[in-house]
Structure 1
Amino acid sequence: MSDLLKKIENEALGLSIQERAFLADRLLSSLGEDVLSDIDNAWIAEAERRYKEYKEGKRSGVAASNVFDEADRMLK
């Protein structure tokens, strides 16, 4: 890892959660469609796996309000 990359990483890790999330989104978006397609496909496969487990009774549902409350807590 180059010294510049180490410096950028250290500075990025010092950002707030919101700033890091924004930076991560910008960096991922800069990778192009091929990489994003792989990432999107991985998330789709994960969502389908979880949904299958839910339908089979292996996983319980979570109320949307709980999900949003947890997301808000994580972003503060």
Structure 2
Amino acid sequence: MTKPIDVLEAEALSLSPAERSRLVDRLLASLGHDPAWEQAWSEEADRREARIADGQAQWVDGAEAVARVRAALK
């Protein structure tokens, strides 16, 4: 019998950060790799790094990024 997703989620969130990281890696690996998607993201990462290097953009820490997204969704 399979567990409901909310039970699995609660169990996953009770893991240590290292265990959660390992679980995320394994789950993502289980989805397979799409070479076109990986190439597109690689190119996007290069574009973003170039914008930062050129002074057109700047790094934002994770907490600030999340706060900005939440504010935009209100």
TM-score normalized by the length of structure 1: 0.56
Q: CA offsets per residue over residues 14-62 of structure 1, 9 Å max, x none?
A: 111111110000000011123x753x3464244213222123223468x
Question: How much has 1:7 moved relative to structure 2?
Answer: 0.7
Higher share in helix:
1
Select the structure with the greater relative contact order (CA < 8 A; seq sep ≥ 6): 1
What letter corresponds to residue 33 of structure 2 in structure 1?
A: E
The change in CA–CA distance for 1:37 and 1:24 in structure 2 (over 3 A counts) is farther
RMSD: 2.7
TM-score normalized by the length of structure 2: 0.57
Mapped to 1, the partners of 2:36 and 2:11 lie a distance apart of 29
What letter corresponds to residue 29 of structure 1 in structure 2?
A: A
- The equivalent residue for 1:26 is 26
Q: SS of the residue aligned with 2:4?
A: helix
Unaligned segments of structure 2, at least 5 residues: 60-74
- The alignment covers a number of residue pairs equal to 58
Identity, % of aligned positions: 41
Unaligned segments of structure 1, at least 5 residues: 62-76
